[in-house]
Structure 1
Amino acid sequence: MESTSGKGTLGFRELLSLAVGQVIGAGVVTLVGQAIGVTGRSVWLAYVFAVVLGLCIIFPYIMLSSMIRVNGGNYTFVATILGERWGGMYGMAFTLNSFACGMFGLGLGTYLNALFPSVNIKITAVIAITLFWIANMLGVKFMAKIQNVMSACLLVGLAVFIVVGLFNLRPGTFDFSSPEFFTGGASGFFNGTLLLVFSCTGQSFIVAFSKEAKNPRRDVPFAIIAASGVILVVYGLIAVVASGVLPIDQVAGKPLTLAAGQILSRPLYYAFIIGGPIMALATTLNSSFTVFSRPFHQMARDGWFSKKMAVTNNLGAPYILLTVIYIISVVPVLLNFSISTITSNSILISRISDVVAIVAVICLPKRIPDAWENRYFKISKPAFYALMIFCLCVTLFVIGLSLRNLKPTLVIVTVVLITLFFIYSTLRQKSGKVQMEKSYELQ
């Protein structure tokens, strides 16, 4: 049995930077216009509700990180609490997120191509993915330093859009009686909130960095909470500007770049595109290599895959696994694979995985009583269980509503994949090759 003990290198500032970079992605650039299309100028209220709902979904991760430090991210505690087979299934489902790195790279290429039409989207995507793969190969500390700089650029780029936009709002932007408010009624507002909610949960992924945190039980949960506060303000203001500088019929269904092009001078427009959507994609891509490799790494150590895959370089980076994620990201881009459907599948599987993770957190006080006694937030057990059950109900409710907008084929593929993952984890466990380490600690 091996512990994860060791001196961490990431403080609150680095963790907050990673959380903000992970949660603010290109979704805010593309989804706001779609939400405006169903609810009009009340989109900023929809974002407020979406952030609150998102916080309900990820609150169990806040409680988890306040109790234990985990080496393999969410995989570690699911396997520890619910058993090896569930942990194996959860870990393999989570690894499907790696396909998203290819989409992030293509997004970067697309935005750069919009600024400089001579830029080749695919080549730019491969170069971007390669650069961040190298950054992660140089260790978490180096990757976090880059993240700090890019996150600052991201906030500056979005601030340019917000500040200039607030001085160019049309009359009646905050007039609740305006026909441009709640254009789709209560149903439209609710659908807009549902559309935005899953762009408000990415900050929970920094649980994967608790191994490197200096004070994980305090800094990881507070970084998640602080990142939620940041996106509440940033997303809300972006939505105000996006829906308030032009008539609703001109911005409905359109990306932020349309409104930005109308209110920003050419130099500021370039600053916004580079500092906003491009940095949003870059920060998410940068941190995703470590976030997605962490469960892979611990699973290899535990025997779900060949243990040779778990080896690290002298900077502590699991170079084989990082390279696997690199290949998963680059090959579909080069071969023109339609990875959007695969990415959609991974998103749905991730939401279902959230349910498994929340159930594990609910069982944590009973299975590891020392972790409960070790908790940073000293709430009572009745309050804890009530909050966790509420979060579980909210997650199930949101998933149920999301299924209405998915194609039956996508749902079937998801069920098949989860079934295959569970069969593999059951067979692998019975083979005797799985020997799980103790990959968590209480201090």
Structure 2
Amino acid sequence: MIVSLIVATFFFALNIFPTKFMAKIQNIMVIFLIAALSAFIVFGLPKVQSGYFSQPGFITHGFTGLIAASAFLTFATFGANSIFQLSGECKNPKKDIPFVLILATLTVAVLYAFVATVAAGVLPVDQVANENLAKVAQTILSRPLYLFFIVGGALGALATSLNATIAWVTKPLIQACEDGWFPKKLAYLHPKYKTPVLLLGIFYLVTIIPIILKIDMALITNSVLVIMYVFMMITSLATTRLPELFPEQWAKSPFHVSKGVLWACCILSTVVLIIQVYYNASSLTPGLLIANITLLAAGFIYSFLRYKTGKVKMDISYEDN
């Protein structure tokens, strides 16, 4: 617990400094992370057991198990979406954001596919089920490489995820405060570094409280996924209104498509998200499911009541150029 608190404190303190400084640290950690995962793949693929794709334990619970696992692991490829929240700090967001979004998502998807193949293909499935990658890594890597994998891979994955999340998670809330959804005082920026220290402090408490109370992280993850997918469904459906809300910007967009194609993409995305919500919700206990529904309802009620107060005045948060 002490180590977890120290790590959380370090990264929150790091993000008090400007994003550019944080990004340099992040880039270094990502290089070590990719190197560690690449070593796991390169040394592991030749040791994947023959007949791996036809063994009895392959695709546990059949198609239903595959879809359920996909619904959970889709979360792992969502990291690139976070770059949207940092668009205000990009030099050329119209080009940088789409490039990073597509490249990062594809890279992570391919990397994870190879990692998963090694993780489940070297040893029998019953030996690695519900285990982390350390067990397989110890089998395929030399001692020095194994230690590098643990530090650069396992710890690196946690560190980069935590650091990136802290960097972007406050950005939409700053805009929400400016628009009046929350008190504007919460968006107070550090006079020198221009970072939202109050919001960072709130998220710091949200991070360390589960650590101190020893709340199961899997419990928190399952609780968050359903809510996240529901809000993504709303975003997907709302995207169909882009042509009518921003006709000029949409007409000039390099991603402009016909109305039919836009609707088809949004409907397809929504259907996929509905499936993911179903499979994630079905894995929750009745208590967690009720908690998810309660939190969703509370969010909608708060938004409705806050809007009715007249304090919400939406600022333009897009640029034409």
Q: Is the TM-score greater than 0.5?
A: yes
Paired AA for residue 322 in structure 1: L
Residues 190 and 320 of structure 1: CA distance in aligned 2, closer, same or farther (over 3 Å): closer
For 1:388, the aligned partner's letter is C
What per-residue deviation string (whole Å, max 9, x for no partner) do you get for residues 328-386 of structure 1? 21233234455653443222211111011112211111111122113122432221221
1:242-321 alignment runs, 5 A limit: 242-313=119-190, 314-321=192-199
CA distance in 2, matches of 1:213, 1:291: 13
Distance in structure 1 (CA, Å) of the matches to 2:113 and 2:214 = 36
Residue by residue over 1:188-229, the C-alpha shift from the partner in whole angstroms, topping out at 9 and shown as x without a partner, is 434443343332223212110111122212221221111121
Distance 1:156 1:366, change over 3 A: same
Contact 2:170–2:199, Cα closer than 8 Å, also in 1: yes
Q: Percent of aligned pairs with the same residue?
A: 38
**Which residue pairs with 1:360 in the alignment?**
238
Q: Residue 25 of structure 2: which of 142, 146, 162 is its match? A: 146
Match in the other structure for 1:124: 3
Counterpart-to-counterpart distance in 1, 2:131 and 2:234: 36
Q: Out of 330, 333, 357, which is 2:208 matched to? A: 330
Residue equivalent to 2:269: 391
Q: Distance in 1 between matches of 2:278 and 2:49?
A: 37
- Which of the numbers 172, 178, 203 marks the counterpart of 2:51? 172
The verdict on how the C-alpha distance between 1:189 and 1:320 changes in structure 2, with shifts beyond 3 A counting, is closer
What amino acid maps onto 1:161 in structure 2? F
CA contact 2:77–2:105 (8 Å) conserved in 1 = yes
Root mean square deviation, CA, Å: 2.0
AA at the equivalent of 1:326:
Y
C-alpha separation between the residues in 2 aligned to 1:420 and 1:180? Answer: 42
* 8 Å contact from structure 1 (residues 168, 245) kept in 2: yes
**How do 1:33-112 residues align onto structure 2 when only pairs under 5 Å count?**
none
User: Taking structure 1 as reference, are residues 214 and 263 closer, same or farther at Cα in structure 2, changes over 3 Å only?
Assistant: same
Q: Secondary structure at the match of 1:434?
A: coil
Paired amino acid for 2:27: N
Task: Name the CA distance, whole Å, in 2 between partners of 1:260 and 1:172.
Answer: 21
Matched with 2:320 is 442
1:230 is matched with which residue? 107
Whole-Å separation in 2 of the counterparts to 1:186 and 1:238: 21
Change (3 A) 1:381 1:151: same
Deviation at 1:310, TM superposition (A): 1.3
CA–CA distance in structure 2, aligned partners of residues 333 and 242 of structure 1:
28
CA contact (8 A) 2:225 2:280 kept: no
Contact 2:18–2:195 (CA under 8 A) maintained in structure 1? yes
Task: Give the partner amino acid of 1:167.
Answer: P
Deviation at residue 280 of structure 1 after TM alignment: 0.7
Instruction: State the distance in 2 between where 1:435 and 1:378 align.
Output: 29
Larger RCO, structures 1/2 (Cα 8 Å, 6+ apart): 1
Q: Deviations over 1:140-178 (max 9, x none)?
A: 1111111111111110111111111123233334xx555
TM normalised by structure 2 equals: 0.92
Structure 1 unaligned blocks of 5 or more: 1-121
Q: Deviations over 1:277-316 (max 9, x none)?
A: 2111111110111221112211222222221221212222
Does the 8 Å contact 2:8/2:204 carry over to 1? yes
Match of 2:290 in 1: 412
Shift of 1:422: 2.0
Distance, in Å, in 2 between the alignment partners of 1:327 and 1:248 is: 38
SS in 1 for 2:131: coil
Aligned to 1:89: none
Per-residue CA distance 1:384-443 (angstroms, 9 max, x = gap)? 221111111111122123222221221211121222222222222222322222222232
Counterpart-to-counterpart distance in 2, 1:183 and 1:401? 15
Structure 2: gaps (5+ residues)? none
* Paired residue total: 320
1:12-65 deviation per Cα after TM superposition (whole angstroms, max 9, x unaligned): xxxxxxxxxxxxxxxxxxxxxxxxxxxxxxxxxxxxxxxxxxxxxxxxxxxxxx
Partner of 1:194: 71
Q: Residue 400 of structure 1 aligns to which amino acid in structure 2?
A: Y
Per the normalisation by structure 1, the TM-score is: 0.68
Cα offsets for 1:240-291 (capped at 9, x unmatched): 2112222233223322111111121221111111111211111111011122
Choose the corresponding residue for 2:87, options 165, 189, 210: 210
Larger CA deviation: 372-381 vs 233-242: 372-381
1-structure distance, mates of 2:66, 2:184:
49
**SS of the residue aligned with 1:137?**
coil
- Seen in structure 2, the aligned counterparts of structure 1 residues 178 and 435 have a Cα distance that, compared at 3 Å, is closer
Is residue 218–residue 376 contact of structure 1 (8 Å, CA) maintained in 2?
Answer: no
C-alpha separation in 2, matches of 1:141 and 1:353: 30
In the aligned structure 2, how far is the partner of 1:287 from the partner of 1:184? 34
CA distance, structure 2, for counterparts of residue 212 and residue 231 of structure 1: 23
